[in-house]
Amino acid sequence: MDIKELIAKNISTIKDLRKKLNVNAELSFEENKTQGIIIDFLKDINIETKVLVRTGVVATLNSGDTCIAVRADMDALPVNGVSHACGHDYHMAIVLGTVLILKKLGFNKVVKFIFQPGEENEGGADPMIKEGVLEDPKVNYMIGFHVWPNVKVGTIEVASGASMASVDNFHMRFIGKGGHAAMPHLCKNPIYPAIEFIQSMNIQSRIENNPLDSHIITFASIKCGNANNVIAEKCEVLGTVRTFSNQLRNKLHDDILINSKLSAEKYGCKVEMEYDFQYPPLISNELLTNKFIEITKKLIGVDKVLHLEKTFAAEDFAFFAEKVPSVHFRLGIGDGSKGIHPLHSPDFDASEDSILNGIYIITNFIISME
C-alpha cells in the first residue's frame, strides 16, 4: 500500500479528530481540552509526549540525537463565540495524521511534532523555544504550513525568503502643558508634535527606504483631549510597523525614536514611548525550500506548486525559522463554495479534502529527507 492509499484508509479517523478539535476550540493559552485530545490520540498510538508552556504538547517519534520537526498551532479566536476561524483545527489534524501515517509505515527516523499554543495572541513559539522545544533531540529542520483561502484544494503556495511580515506595535505619549484653548501661548499643545511626527515619518519612510523593500507604518489612533476649549496635557499615538526585513525593521524603529523626540522638542514637549517588538518576519530557508519545492512538484505536479505572494499578516512560526532552517507553505482549501472566506472571518470554512493533501505532502517530504 502506498502513502496516499494508507492516508485514504485512515482519513475518516483524522476527519473525526478534526471535528472534535473544532467543537472544543479554545483561546490562546487556554487550550486545555485541546491539549487533552492531542495527548490522548498520541498515547493511543504509543507516541511519547511532553507538555511545554502549560498547554503546548511535544511528541517524538523514535529516538536519536537529531530530528526534523513539524509544527501545528492550537489556539482559536474570539469569533462566533470561540471558533477555529483561522483553521488551526486543520493544522492539528494534519500533523496528527502525519504522526499516524509515519507510525503505520514503520518509519524509523526521528521526527518531532510540536503543538504550539498562543499563536493568535502574544505567541507561543518563543516561549516553547526558551523551554527547550528545539533540543533533546536537536531539531535540524522544521516544516510549518497554514491553510489558505482561495487556493484550490490539491495545490500549495510556497517560496523561499520572506512570506509574512514582522509585526511591531508602538504606543507613544506626547506630553506638553495643558490649559485654556483661548490662551495657547501659555500652553504647550502636544497635538502639534504628534501631527508633525506622523507627517515626517510618512515622508521619511517613503524617501529614505528602497521602494522595493516593502514596509507599512500605520498610525491607527490619535487621542488628544475631549473639549473644544481645553488644550490637553497629553496626546497619545498608536500604530504598527510591518516589514519583510530585520534590517529595515530595526532602521524604522530607530527612525521612530529619533523623529518623535525631535518633534516633541521642537514644540517644547516630551515624549514617552512603549515599542513592542512582536514577531520577526517569517523567512523560509532557500536551500530547504528549494528541496521541498522539487520533491513536492514530483509528488503532486508542477502545476500544483504555485509561487506565493507575500502578506503583511504575521505568524510566530517565524521564531522557529530564525533558529533552524525551515520551510513554510500555504495549503489550498478552496473547493467550490468551501474555502473562499478569509482567515479570521466568521464565515471561514475549508474543504476537508485538504486534510489528505496536507498529510500526503508533509509525510512524503519527511520520508524524502532521510
**Residue 301 has which C-alpha cell?**
505536479
d(CA 14, CA 328): 22
pLDDT digits (tens, 9 = 90+) for 138-147: 999 999 999 9
Reported confidence tier of residue 370, pLDDT bands at 50, 70, 90: low
Selected from 1.10.10.10, 3.30.70.360, 2.30.290.10, 3.40.630.30, the CATH number assigned to the domain covering 167-279 reads 3.30.70.360
What pTM was estimated for this model as a whole?
0.93
User: DSSP E strands: which ranges in the chain?
Assistant: 48-52, 56-61, 66-73, 111-116, 138-152, 156-157, 161-164, 167-175, 179-180, 215-223, 230-231, 234-243, 270-279, 282-284, 305-306, 326-334
Reported confidence tier of residue 212, pLDDT bands at 50, 70, 90: confident
pLDDT digits (tens, 9 = 90+) for 10-24: 999 999 999 999 999
β-pair partners for 71: 114
Is residue 334 within 8 Å of 150, Cβ to Cβ? yes
Give the start-to-end residue ranges of the domains of the chain. 3-164+281-368, 167-279
Domain 3-164+281-368 in CATH 3.40.50.1820: no
- Across the range 99-124, mean pLDDT stands at 97
**Residue 347 has which C-alpha cell?**
464565515
